Structure 1
């Protein structure tokens, strides 16, 4: 009788434990995918912890040199039925510029470049042209930097969309990559020309959530 009771108890324990163990051992998959059908309409906010703006200049003709801006804020308005109606408005804290060189980072925050208390940069879209496949777009807008506003066009690629797991907040996310080229002299940043290039290449990874 005791053996029967023990056997029943073990069977009951196994019935409870095995599904849990199987779930723990199940292969994990990323919640996002390059699938535009996952995008829902509405207003998304920038995920500042996963949005970066990388800038690259030519340094004396020897190497490219790059730094980044982070802690970006702003919004993205999307309508999957009318992607050309999308609107982007993002703010970039120039004072938080980061490079691999402490000395250079400090130099960037002087009158030679951005100043010791630079205003945030801001990009506001004015039009969006989406390609036939719907996964690439040219986003035209106005970039305000160093007190100067100039038109800039971003070449943007859809990267992925999906919903985060409940234990990670459960928010809907969408992400993009984008590139653009600007001239720093257009924004009054002339130090080191032409040994340090006037042309600045921008590479952006932008994550949004709602």
Structure 2
């Protein structure tokens, strides 16, 4: 559980801009909108170019207090078998034991631990990433793009968030093609999300 502390940002270190707060502000839970969230990764292939991949199935929630800027309960779960790299043969390889080993490890999780603001709209969050049965700390750089009532449909208060970070495959025991450099060890992660307040 992410400790409750004064933060001008939330989810992966996001920041909230200054604006008028209501006197009755209180903690609210937020959830990632699956229709407006992208979890992607880039990894080097043979030194020629980076390969793009996505995870299509996931869920995530956190709690945030608008007045005190306290963040807690940040948790994201990704279904590893939902990986998509736009090539069926490559996807099948990424799902096997050389990489994600989805039959044995069907989910990976990120749980927030601590966060640090850098400005009114940026900061970092460090959490525990569990992948292939191994848990390691990962730090994400996060920017808050917008915080406002959604203009369409549900009209819920929504946060627009961008987060980036890098993990090493080898830290999680994913050693395939690391030594010969055919597949990069560093994997760059990008998260673009709209997080909706739970009514």
TM-score (norm 1): 0.76
2:93 is the alignment partner of 1:93: no
**Do 2:17 and 2:121's aligned partners in 1 also have CA atoms closer than 8 Å?**
no
**Do 1:127 and 1:140's aligned partners in 2 also have CA atoms closer than 8 Å?**
yes
Distance verdict in 2 for CA 1:85–1:101, change over 3 Å: same
TM-score (norm 2): 0.80
Counterparts of 2:19 and 2:72, CA distance in 1: 16
The one of 160, 170, 175 aligned to 1:185 = 170
2:191 is the alignment partner of 1:207: no
From the CA coordinates, give the structure whose radius of gyration is larger: 1
Consecutive unaligned residues of structure 1, counting only runs of 5 or more, are: 1-33
Counterparts of 2:127 and 2:70, CA distance in 1: 13
Q: Is the partner of 1:56 in helix, strand or coil?
A: strand
Counterparts of 1:36 and 1:67, CA distance in 2: 35
**Do 1:89 and 1:125's aligned partners in 2 also have CA atoms closer than 8 Å?**
yes
Q: What is the aligned partner in structure 2 of residue 125 from structure 1?
A: 112
Q: What is the aligned partner in structure 2 of residue 37 from structure 1?
A: 19
Q: Which has the higher helix share?
A: 1
**Do 1:84 and 1:130's aligned partners in 2 also have CA atoms closer than 8 Å?**
no
Q: Pairwise CA RMSD of aligned residues?
A: 2.0
**Do 2:116 and 2:125's aligned partners in 1 also have CA atoms closer than 8 Å?**
yes
Q: Which has the higher strand share?
A: 2
Q: What is the aligned partner in structure 2 of residue 52 from structure 1?
A: 38
Cα displacement (A) at 1:115: 1.8
Q: What is the aligned partner in structure 2 of residue 5 from structure 1?
A: none
Relative contact order (C-alpha < 8 Å, sep 6+): which is higher? 2
Consecutive unaligned residues of structure 2, counting only runs of 5 or more, are: 1-15
